[in-house]
Amino acid sequence: MSDNTRVKEAIDKATKRLNDNYKSQGIFEKEIGENLPKKADIIDTLAEIQRVIFPGFFGKENSAYVKLDNFAGSAIAVIYERLFKEIRSTLLYRGDKKRGADFDQEVEELTLKFIDKLPDIQELILKDVEAELEGDPAASSKEEIIFSYPGIYAIFVYRVAHELYNLKIPYIPRIMTEYAHGKTGIDINPGANIGEYFFIDHGTGIVIGETTTIGKHVKIYQGVTLGALSTMKGQQLSGTKRHPTIEDNVVIYANATVLGGDTVIGKNSVIAGNTFITESVPENTRVSALMPELKIKSRK
Amino acid sequence: MSDNTRVKEAIDKATKRLNDNYKSQGIFEKEIGENLPKKADIIDTLAEIQRVIFPGFFGKENSAYVKLDNFAGSAIAVIYERLFKEIRSTLLYRGDKKRGADFDQEVEELTLKFIDKLPDIQELILKDVEAELEGDPAASSKEEIIFSYPGIYAIFVYRVAHELYNLKIPYIPRIMTEYAHGKTGIDINPGANIGEYFFIDHGTGIVIGETTTIGKHVKIYQGVTLGALSTMKGQQLSGTKRHPTIEDNVVIYANATVLGGDTVIGKNSVIAGNTFITESVPENTRVSALMPELKIKSRK
Amino acid sequence: MSDNTRVKEAIDKATKRLNDNYKSQGIFEKEIGENLPKKADIIDTLAEIQRVIFPGFFGKENSAYVKLDNFAGSAIAVIYERLFKEIRSTLLYRGDKKRGADFDQEVEELTLKFIDKLPDIQELILKDVEAELEGDPAASSKEEIIFSYPGIYAIFVYRVAHELYNLKIPYIPRIMTEYAHGKTGIDINPGANIGEYFFIDHGTGIVIGETTTIGKHVKIYQGVTLGALSTMKGQQLSGTKRHPTIEDNVVIYANATVLGGDTVIGKNSVIAGNTFITESVPENTRVSALMPELKIKSRK
Amino acid sequence: MSDNTRVKEAIDKATKRLNDNYKSQGIFEKEIGENLPKKADIIDTLAEIQRVIFPGFFGKENSAYVKLDNFAGSAIAVIYERLFKEIRSTLLYRGDKKRGADFDQEVEELTLKFIDKLPDIQELILKDVEAELEGDPAASSKEEIIFSYPGIYAIFVYRVAHELYNLKIPYIPRIMTEYAHGKTGIDINPGANIGEYFFIDHGTGIVIGETTTIGKHVKIYQGVTLGALSTMKGQQLSGTKRHPTIEDNVVIYANATVLGGDTVIGKNSVIAGNTFITESVPENTRVSALMPELKIKSRK
Amino acid sequence: MSDNTRVKEAIDKATKRLNDNYKSQGIFEKEIGENLPKKADIIDTLAEIQRVIFPGFFGKENSAYVKLDNFAGSAIAVIYERLFKEIRSTLLYRGDKKRGADFDQEVEELTLKFIDKLPDIQELILKDVEAELEGDPAASSKEEIIFSYPGIYAIFVYRVAHELYNLKIPYIPRIMTEYAHGKTGIDINPGANIGEYFFIDHGTGIVIGETTTIGKHVKIYQGVTLGALSTMKGQQLSGTKRHPTIEDNVVIYANATVLGGDTVIGKNSVIAGNTFITESVPENTRVSALMPELKIKSRK
Amino acid sequence: MSDNTRVKEAIDKATKRLNDNYKSQGIFEKEIGENLPKKADIIDTLAEIQRVIFPGFFGKENSAYVKLDNFAGSAIAVIYERLFKEIRSTLLYRGDKKRGADFDQEVEELTLKFIDKLPDIQELILKDVEAELEGDPAASSKEEIIFSYPGIYAIFVYRVAHELYNLKIPYIPRIMTEYAHGKTGIDINPGANIGEYFFIDHGTGIVIGETTTIGKHVKIYQGVTLGALSTMKGQQLSGTKRHPTIEDNVVIYANATVLGGDTVIGKNSVIAGNTFITESVPENTRVSALMPELKIKSRK
């Protein structure tokens, strides 16, 4: 660090070039004085929701001493206030809304609609926990599942984000599911429609695309892709049904790939692991692949 | 936010419905006044163990100045005290133990048994580091492996959790391995038996089931599943041997799938990537798949 | 906890055995009084870089009020100072450098070379964002991509780490990319060479090896491995070209595996998902596998 | 840092001498395996109590949306659980209690007695807030007082600690009041008896000794000492009434000193600032000092 | 913890009584859905202001590498945005403002007026630093004063809070000065008017009341009160001049007390320590007390 | 926030004026690329020292399980490394040292000298704890004193800072004692010389100046000033003996003021509270003031 001047000049040169880059990009100079909520705040809201959905599991209270009648109210008040602010900032940030009493009224509506869905989300996620317990021979109790299963965490976050997606809130749903994706390796787009008693095992590598529809009592294992058939057209496909439909009671084993918006896996069917499916499968079918013949040679 | 009354009523309505849900679920009203230890506390204990296993790497002390004779004692005392509390809470939470002097004695036994295993865990993990260095041409030193390899972290956590699993401590082993799973994408059930000099490369997507047995000097790459053949029977299979046996010196390349409790990969065998194995493979064998013929068409 | 003596003795016994293990390992007794920088510090530096690359997105400032001319300078000064210290410690820790004025001069050179690359890194990553927007029909805006896409985060970290790798800084590049690997499931070795407009979708399970070369406008989906053909020789292969070359405009769909240092995927080619490629593919080719015939049986 | 050996030897020498010091002190080798609760935990419990005493002021909930009927229950459950653990540890640490069901029962009694006092503490502190508003012309509202007045914080902590002191809990009351002392400069011993509508202004430097008795509607300003007359006998005085009695409606202005266990300030009396009182003062009296004549010289 | 029911009942009883208390108090049920900003946020804003006033001292940037031209802009943008939100919440919380475009405009005005004062605040505080260096023989440099002198911190916070007080922002100025009071023991009401080159030594116990006026080059030592003569009338005195006027170049030594709204200490006068002044003192005067004669007895 | 331009212009204007201020001050543009260590780091080092001085009290280890032989070594290694860096930065920051091997050697000397003093500091502070227990009838045990007495904390910090002051380390000693000043209201200059068995009660408002000398077994109460007689000459007095000498076994009660470099309080003397002493007091003397006669009037 012999020479401050030299360091200062180098920093100055980089600063100038970065400034030039900034100016060549519309996204770095905003017109409206509102920022997106920080990711950390959205994650906190998610934690508050988790606390109220599973009382006694994630907060500091011991459920042995809490009268449950007393529990949810003040937590929901916190969720309401935070979400109001986050939804408000997000809509302003996108730039198609104007501050004012009407807009605040609209944000209130949206937030209350979400609050109204909280008990439904809870009912669904408790059914998912049941499905997990029934389906996994390694699970010893619902408590263990709620505390430690990444599949349940990913589904919980999806179910929350999906309600916000349905309300057409921008950014927040995806920030939520990508947070869960980062923690679990399970990537469920908030736009997907997933029925009750959904079961995920292990989970790492699962991808469930935006226009996927999944029925009730479906089981999915690690590495399964429910994806689009071809994405060469990029943005032109936005809004079209690109991902498959999975009907009730279907099981899809590890690393299977099911692609295409017209692909329907009929109810009660079982898809074996490592299969590659691009066409519909009728109901009550067991699909496996003629596995490639193994070449077995002795070593040395 | 025009009207507080309206917001309060909406919150109240959601509160009531959540309360009804709470009451329909046994898991939310506990009889005994003990909570599970917080996840964060268990992770802290794990960090303390990591610090003592790899002195100078993860704590604040610089190993250049620490006399190693002095090092481990006070850290182990911290581990002992924390683990005592965590094991005690966990056993009480499960509900089949009663507070009292006998129970405290039992918890002390269990905790001391684990403490006694610490040097063995260390010996094993140091051998794993050696295997990693030898097996990965991209690895430049043991230091780099200890500092940054997710495979080593996942194996370290598994080796700790496995000793707690052997002592039949509930919840804690799984919370530990799922934490590592979240950080690395590598899902090793604490019940698996894994021999020394275990090598994992890249790691994301690896699944090693509860009843898997793995010998010495085994190498496993990303996306490998050592799983159960069929899990349609769910909880009925609990306790049975459902996952494969991998003998000494076996190598299993990326994305291979090995399934079934009766499946044995014999020693010195090599399993190619993207294979699907549901039957045993003899010793000294090289198994690859007749890869599906590639269709090659020119584009436009 | 009836008897302190007993606990103390057990702790003492474990301490002694751990000490023996410490002494059997060269890595725990260092000669030189310098530690690696803490991982947390390296991550902080990465966050500072991210803040300056995407002004208004990750720091506390609202870009609506920041004059961009003013922005980068002081952040780069922070990056310079931190990186200087981290590079200095790292080189000393490795043990082949000696403290002194010449060495400090050398560290300054290295750090300034990196600072000089910051605008280039930014230009590249902004092109990657464009590629992401164009290629993903589910993406609604550049903002959403910058805020929440794991692929962009992994590429950003790779591009930073790659410049440090080019400067032959030890440890730090790998600590950076393994941090991103942990958060995204995407494992890009800092040694890989990746061209502009790189697109990653979903991402979990992607592995890009150290000697991989990737051209411009390449698209890669989840679970793709660009790996080494055989790694049985371990450290002997260190430094050789072991991973494939992917030319401009190539698309590689989910879970495809491309292996080998001589394997070249020619420009404009498309590799279908779930393929296994160990030989070169000419330009302008569409490669898919004759998928194994599906066995379809009705379930009772 | 030329020579590790030298540094290591110096550290070793200091270590040995510190060890000798440790061994010469009974307090560093404990027989019983229980530690005091960490200060930070006690402070957290205090914050939880503050949250429930002043709903909407210190927690994250906005009282505009909280139905107060719902509020206190779950917070008290948290307070109960924490305090149970803290009281339990503290009594064991002191060494005159033995673990067991009877002891746990006793701890439960103590904790529940404190819980039972919470509403009384609240009633008292709300009266103190009223006194503060009435007495301070600079106060603009009760909200401002609750949010920012150090006097109210010190009295709040004293009122909580005093109830624990009455239950003969060791350590915790003093840790609490010394925490408030550190934050406010107001040192109220938890043993003092202080009536309702107590008013403190500015506060820094106030000392209220262990055996002080204070009536209702008393006002005290910064720098006032209510102390012991002579403390030369030290521990021999432990337990005797050493500090004054202040009756109802007394005002004591800044920096007055009132000393002695037999000193009684009769009701409705006013003590001027900077006075030194070691004898009783009758009711309805105004006491000021003949201030020392001022010497006034012009400065050349 | 033998009996959950008993604990639950006790908690329930306390809850009910607390609820009754809540309802008897207007302050706990708000009409408007806006909370005060959290204290922690206000403190953060203060830290941001400190960072921009003293570049290189409190932030993470090393001023050796920062081009000062670049420095302040983005920090002020952060201050603007935060303060806008805090002022907005505070005015709404007080209840005499209504949401809407006009109100937002008004908040913007207020915030910009404060921003405009930042350079003036800086000039003043830098003069205070000079006064501190000149006046304290124990001070070794301006750097030491800025880094560690509580007097400078208290004056800095006062100067910031005073500008907000002048803008009639409620709550925030007092929360700021009480924070500094807690950290330094120096209680300066934001309403006081204090001239340039203000010097405080040691500081603990200093009280400067709301309507105090202090000229230039004034020096004040620990324990000095500039207070009201009698405060028995409480709220009736609100708004009247109750505290003294201190003219230019006055020195007031430790523990002196100066009281009364009509009391003027004329310029260039020196007030000795431990004096009690309730009447005006002419210019160029040295005031000391005929100290009470000391009684000196030999101790047996 | 109607108009971004307006806000940007206001920020820009303030930025320019702040920049002008920066440039008018030498302290904001440094020549050498080294910053002072952050206050938080110095506080951390202090905490590490406290942990090793009082094993089992402030760290996470429970002294019931720690073999004290093992304890201090690794903590001292941490202290050594941190202090080395902090002393190094501090000396460079002051600007009269040059980087290089000789300088590093010098820093090592200084740091090792401090390490060597650690056991002496401990012996002294343990004697202070004894003095505290003996002298305060409200103290129930040494544990309570160590855990909660501000006087002991202030003396501990002073004793550490004093050793660094003796080694002529700049900035750090004062940052340490001002930190303790902020937490306790006790301001002990690190330059003071204080003998063993020093006792402080309550403490708020105590000031002990830089050139004070205090003998053994001295007791001091709240609000006592040991100060300079006149400080009108400011910096000219730097280095001269300005503060009093207090001999062995002296007691100084609350709010007494002792001033002057030639003032000596002879051994075994007792100074009453609220006295003002500017001349020497012989040995074995009891000094009190003829307190000003009290004016007692009945109210109304």
pLDDT tens column, D170-188: 999 999 999 999 999 999 9
The length of chain F, given as a count of residues: 300
Q: Looking at residue A2, what is its pLDDT?
A: 46
Q: Looking at residue A38, what is its pLDDT?
A: 85
The length of chain D, given as a count of residues: 300
User: What is the per-residue pLDDT across C247-265, written as a single tens digit (0 to 9) for each?
Assistant: 999 999 999 999 999 999 9
| Contact criterion met (CB below 8 Å) for B203 and C207 | no
Which residues of chain D lie closer than 8 angstroms to C32, CB-CB?
Answer: 1, 4
User: What is the per-residue pLDDT across B99-153, written as a single tens digit (0 to 9) for each?
Assistant: 888 898 999 999 999 999 999 999 999 999 999 999 888 888 999 999 999 999 9
Q: Measuring CA to CA, how many Å separate D279 from each of B296, D265, D282, E75?
A: 108, 9, 10, 59
Which residues of chain B lie closer than 8 angstroms to F60, CB-CB?
Answer: 78
- Partner-chain residue, chosen from B7, B225, B291, that has the shortest CB–CB distance to A254: B225
User: What is the per-residue pLDDT across B256-291, written as a single tens digit (0 to 9) for each?
Assistant: 999 999 999 999 999 998 888 999 999 999 998 776
Q: Is C159 near chain B, with CB under 8 Å?
A: no
Q: Looking at residue A300, what is its pLDDT?
A: 64
Which residues of chain A lie closer than 8 angstroms to B289, CB-CB?
Answer: 291-295
How far off is chain B from F86, nearest CA to CA, in Å?
A: 15
Structure letter (DSSP) for residue E196: S
User: What is the per-residue pLDDT across F153-174, written as a single tens digit (0 to 9) for each?
Assistant: 999 999 999 999 999 999 999 9
Strand order in the sheet with B257-259: B187-188, B207-208, B225-227, B257-259, B276-277
| Contact criterion met (CB below 8 Å) for F88 and F107 | yes
Q: Is A208 near chain C, with CB under 8 Å?
A: no
How far off is chain F from C144, nearest CA to CA, in Å?
A: 23
Strand order in the sheet with A245-246: A193-194, A213-214, A245-246, A264-265
User: What is the per-residue pLDDT across A17-59, written as a single tens digit (0 to 9) for each?
Assistant: 888 888 887 777 776 667 788 889 999 999 999 999 998 888 7
Indicate if the alpha-carbon torsion angle C248, C249, C250, C254 is positive or negative: positive
C209/C206 Cα distance (integer angstroms): 10
Considering only A83-87, A99-103, B12-16, E234-238, which range has the smallest mean pLDDT?
Answer: E234-238
Q: Where are the beta strands (DSSP E) in E75-224?
A: 187-188, 193-194, 199-200, 207-208, 213-214, 219-220
Higher pLDDT residue, A108 or E236? A108
- Partner-chain residue, chosen from B65, B69, B78, that has the shortest CB–CB distance to F81: B65
| Contact criterion met (CB below 8 Å) for B245 and B228 | no
Task: Look at E287 and D273 and tell me if their CB atoms are within 8 Å.
Answer: no
- Phi-psi group of B133: left, alpha or beta (phi > 0 → left; psi -120 to 50 → alpha; rest → beta): alpha
User: What is the per-residue pLDDT across E270-297, written as a single tens digit (0 to 9) for each?
Assistant: 999 888 899 999 999 999 877 667 788 8
Strand order in the sheet with C264-265: C193-194, C213-214, C245-246, C264-265
Q: Looking at residue D274, what is its pLDDT?
A: 87
Query: Nearest-CA residue of chain B relative to C203?
Result: B204
In chain D, % of residues over pLDDT 70: 95
Burial class of C204 by CB neighbour count within 10 A (0 to 12, 13 to 18, 19+)? buried
- Phi-psi group of A129: left, alpha or beta (phi > 0 → left; psi -120 to 50 → alpha; rest → beta): alpha
Task: At B242, list the tokens.
Answer: 């459902």
The length of chain E, given as a count of residues: 300
Task: Look at F73 and B60 and tell me if their CB atoms are within 8 Å.
Answer: no
Select from F158, F187, F172 the least CA-distant residue to E150.
F187
Select from F130, F249, F154, F250 the least CA-distant residue to F208.
F154
Q: Looking at residue B233, what is its pLDDT?
A: 72
Q: Looking at residue C1, what is its pLDDT?
A: 43
Q: How confident is the model at residue A297 (pLDDT cuts 50, 70, 90)?
A: confident
The predicted model gives B34-38 an average pLDDT of: 81
Which residues of chain E lie closer than 8 angstroms to D125, CB-CB?
Answer: none
Q: Looking at residue B208, what is its pLDDT?
A: 98
Mean pLDDT of chain C: 90
User: What is the per-residue pLDDT across D58-88, written as a single tens digit (0 to 9) for each?
Assistant: 877 776 777 777 778 888 988 999 999 999 9
The predicted model gives F87-106 an average pLDDT of: 88
The ipTM assigned to this model is: 0.91
Q: Is F32 near chain A, with CB under 8 Å?
A: yes
pLDDT for residue F1 is more than 50: no
Query: Nearest-CA residue of chain B relative to C279?
Result: B294
Which of F2, F4, F97 to mutate to test binding with chain A, by most A CBs within 10 Å of its CB?
F4
Considering only D296-300, E221-225, F38-42, which range has the smallest mean pLDDT?
Answer: D296-300
pLDDT for residue D140 is more than 70: yes
Mean pLDDT of chain D: 90
Q: Measuring CA to CA, how many Å separate A54 from each of A46, A72, A122, C73?
A: 12, 10, 8, 47
Higher pLDDT residue, C26 or F179? F179
Q: Is A61 near chain D, with CB under 8 Å?
A: yes
pLDDT for residue E1 is more than 50: no
The predicted model gives C56-73 an average pLDDT of: 76
In chain B, % of residues over pLDDT 90: 61
Select from F124, F119, F182 the least CA-distant residue to F154.
F182
The length of chain A, given as a count of residues: 300
Q: Looking at residue B251, what is its pLDDT?
A: 96
- Partner-chain residue, chosen from C1, C7, C33, that has the shortest CB–CB distance to D4: C33
Task: At A27, list the tokens.
Answer: 């996204």
Q: What is the pTM of this model?
A: 0.92
Considering only A269-278, B276-285, E65-74, which range has the smallest mean pLDDT?
Answer: E65-74
Q: How confident is the model at residue F3 (pLDDT cuts 50, 70, 90)?
A: low
User: What is the per-residue pLDDT across C90-100, written as a single tens digit (0 to 9) for each?
Assistant: 999 888 888 88
The pairing of beta strand A264-265 with beta strand C245-246:
unpaired
The predicted model gives E40-55 an average pLDDT of: 93
Instruction: Find residues 268-297 of chain D whose CB sits inside 8 Å of chain F.
Output: 268-270, 275-277, 281, 284-292
Which residues of chain C lie closer than 8 angstroms to B185, CB-CB?
Answer: 185, 204-205
Q: Looking at residue B2, what is its pLDDT?
A: 46
User: What is the per-residue pLDDT across D30-42, written as a single tens digit (0 to 9) for each?
Assistant: 766 777 888 899 9
Query: Nearest-CA residue of chain F relative to A30?
Result: F4
The predicted model gives B154-179 an average pLDDT of: 97
Residue B294 φ then ψ, to 5°:
-85, 135
Mean pLDDT of chain E: 90
Residue F133 φ then ψ, to 5°:
-65, -45
User: What is the per-residue pLDDT across A95-142, written as a single tens digit (0 to 9) for each?
Assistant: 878 888 889 899 999 999 999 999 999 999 999 999 999 988 888 899
Q: How confident is the model at residue A6 (pLDDT cuts 50, 70, 90)?
A: confident
Q: Looking at residue B254, what is its pLDDT?
A: 93
Task: Look at E61 and C70 and tell me if their CB atoms are within 8 Å.
Answer: no
Q: Looking at residue E22, what is its pLDDT?
A: 82
Which residues of chain F lie closer than 8 angstroms to C99, CB-CB?
Answer: 101, 104
F136/F219 Cα distance (integer angstroms): 10
Query: Nearest-CA residue of chain A relative to F5?
Result: A31
Which residues of chain D lie closer than 8 angstroms to B12, CB-CB?
Answer: 67
